[in-house]
Chains A and B, each alone.
Chain A
């Protein structure tokens, strides 16, 4: 599982990091860790637009986003 730790970063760094991870290994599930509401929204929007489903888990220090590629 690829993990992108974007905790502590604010817009747009978490999106940039997630996009890079998606581009590097397309169609692979990945976990993105963010620690604020805005990053959660932005990363989720990016993931959905790239054809991933997004599952949000609340973690102690923010959110754990599980992005899984949707079957085509």
Chain B
């Protein structure tokens, strides 16, 4: 494996990984996942949050094995290529907060940057509004990066803390397999729609492995395009979209091209745009989209693990406090939180600077 993969150029590997991921994401819908939700880092973490009983939205409770596989696939790849390093100490509490706000943004839109592409690839034109918001958020993030924003340096740590998150994921996997009585599982709604556990797990492991090797990131692609005119990560986004679109077309999974009546979606353009602005901005300041944070958590980055825990907290808050949207539309508390979240994130972006070396 180590001999085979380096023989591919990083760019070919990235495009290949994007295509494979896109095809698999569309296939996961055929195999049982909710429509236009073959893979969604935010929605699936939200479902896991619900399965643990941290929120009580009954249709959104299931330990999604794709997420567990994603983290463990990254761990396996990092070990195989000797890249497992325990690091931490770069503003964990700020990362927790940014993770939570990013998750709330995703749950007001109803999808992470990955699902925004999948929704578009399934005919849901709200994906365009969402991507516009995401790109705008990343653009604002770049301005802050250029001003000197950063969350501080991380340091190398003893190995143990880096293993805590993968260990937690293994425990979640045991919960998913043995479904003890305290784990919630949706009887109806999106949380009840899923393939067999092993299918989701194997796909997740494969994507996690590829994601660790390619460093794929669904916000970084837009960021690098604008910041340094680099197409490397962006080619992933295009390949992923094409893979999903073509597979959806072949499988007849594209319903109708419109803004209305789309699965697990609403068509409030203003708040689709602004909620994904929050996601784009938050993820740019965090250095990666929710998927990337999960992958980094699997390879010993405890700052990313804290970010993921922040996302779990954000999912709990979003459903417990009635912030998350539904097919009926946004909620009044949800849009207020997006406004406040944007203000907090901007403030963090403006205030967290390191004095420059001359």
Contacts and interface: CB of A to CB of B under 8 A. Distances in A.
Q: Do A and B bind each other?
A: yes
Interface string B212-229: 000100001001100111
A5 B153 CA distance: 11
B277 to A, nearest CB: 19
A8 interface: yes
Given A10-B287, A41-B215, A15 B227 contact: yes
Nearest to A16: B145
12 contacts: A5-B357, A8-B152, A8-B155, A9-B153, A12-B224, A13-B145, A13-B287, A15-B224, A15-B227, A19-B227, A38-B215, A49-B228
Given A10-B287, A37-B83, A15 B228 contact: yes
A15 B287 CA distance: 12
B288 interface: yes
A49 B145 contact: no
B150 interface: yes
Interface string A1-18: 000010111111101100
A58 to B, nearest CB: 13
Interface in A11-31: 11-13, 15-16, 19-20
Contact of B90 (A8, A12, A37, A61): A8
A46 interface: yes
B230 A12 contact: no
A11 B153 contact: no
A36 to B, nearest CB: 7
A46 B231 CA distance: 11
Nearest to A7: B153
A63 to B, nearest CB: 13
Given A15-B224, A35-B156, 11 more contacts: A7-B153, A10-B90, A11-B220, A12-B227, A13-B145, A16-B146, A16-B227, A19-B227, A19-B228, A49-B229, A61-B156
B85 A36 contact: yes
B145 A8 contact: no
Interface of B: 10, 83, 85, 87, 90, 145-146, 150, 152-156, 215, 220, 223-224, 227-230, 232, 287-288, 301, 357
Given A10-B287, A11-B215, A46 B228 contact: yes
Contact of B288 (A7, A11, A37, A46): A11
Contacts of B215: 11, 38, 41
A45 B150 contact: no
A43 to B, nearest CB: 11
Contacts of B153: 7-9
Contacts of A7: 153
A35 to B, nearest CB: 8
Contacts of A35: 156
B283 to A, nearest CB: 11
Contact of B154 (A8, A19, A46): A8
Nearest to B146: A16
A45 B229 CA distance: 11
A5 to B, nearest CB: 8
